[in-house]
Structure 1
Amino acid sequence: MTAADGALVAAFHAQCCEHNLLLRWGRTRLTPCDLARLLAQAQCWIGLDANERPLALVCVGSVSGQPGVVDLGLQVADDHHRRGVGTALARQAARIAGARGAHTLTAFTHASNTAMLRLLEHLGPTRRTRDGPYVEVRVALDAYAPATLPPTRSVPT
């Protein structure tokens, strides 16, 4: 994703209720300045459905400044919750982070966000630290290290 994808981000956010946007971003929309700041700190992808409609946004970046630790940002359009979209994107983000040498993936979420907490537990061993109504979850990326990943198949072009 690049700054030129602002319209896709807006189309994605139009599929999310204000409550979920506030929980994820602390606001109901991302400005071009917000998007530029996010892209400067993280690699982001927009997940599209079969009709090229945006259905998810995932970001992985070194927010904490700790070597080998990357932060996961993930949001799925409201009408696509509980369909495995977030899990698939989080696993792909973990694979990419592990392939780039990260050993830990972190996520900061509301303690009541049980769906996200369960998703993170499916990625690997977790450690939780409570911070008021929020929780930081750290996921060990041992299973996503390059030496442990199965080889990918090449598709002839």
Structure 2
Amino acid sequence: MNRGIDAATAFARLYHRWFDDPLALADEGARQAHSVVGEQVVDMLALWDERARSWLPGTPTILRLETHDLTAFAMRAPHIALFFGAINAEPSMAAPGCALRWESFRPCSYAIGRTVIGIALETDGDGLLVGAEAVLDDGGRVALGGSVARSLPCAV
């Protein structure tokens, strides 16, 4: 897969569009959500703060799929925007001396190898996105946006 653009560039593009017309951006995200159906989950990435030794809250969550990524970016709380395309999460993209790096988000490792059968979107009263979940082939879900990324595996 082409590793595409860095997350800061993707965020800047979404941020400008969100302030111009957040409803149109939410509608576009809903229309594009079908593009991930049938894709297998390869990884789930989040930003790790090496100095604090913890996950950085409020940062993008990347659902890495076979052919592209679905990334949820926090806009103005509680809203999110979705980016469909490849995000470059290679260490070489970090600024020298930066303690932040993309890491596999282990709390969601359950989803690796599963197939996405749908995307459930949560909107507020104005129709703006506040959450997104990838629905998996076994009935489990992975929350991509909203309060925090989390895995909701199907009970066996």
* TM-score normalised over the length of structure 2: 0.28
Q: Which has the higher helix share?
A: 1
* TM-score normalised over the length of structure 1: 0.28
Q: Which has the higher strand share?
A: 2
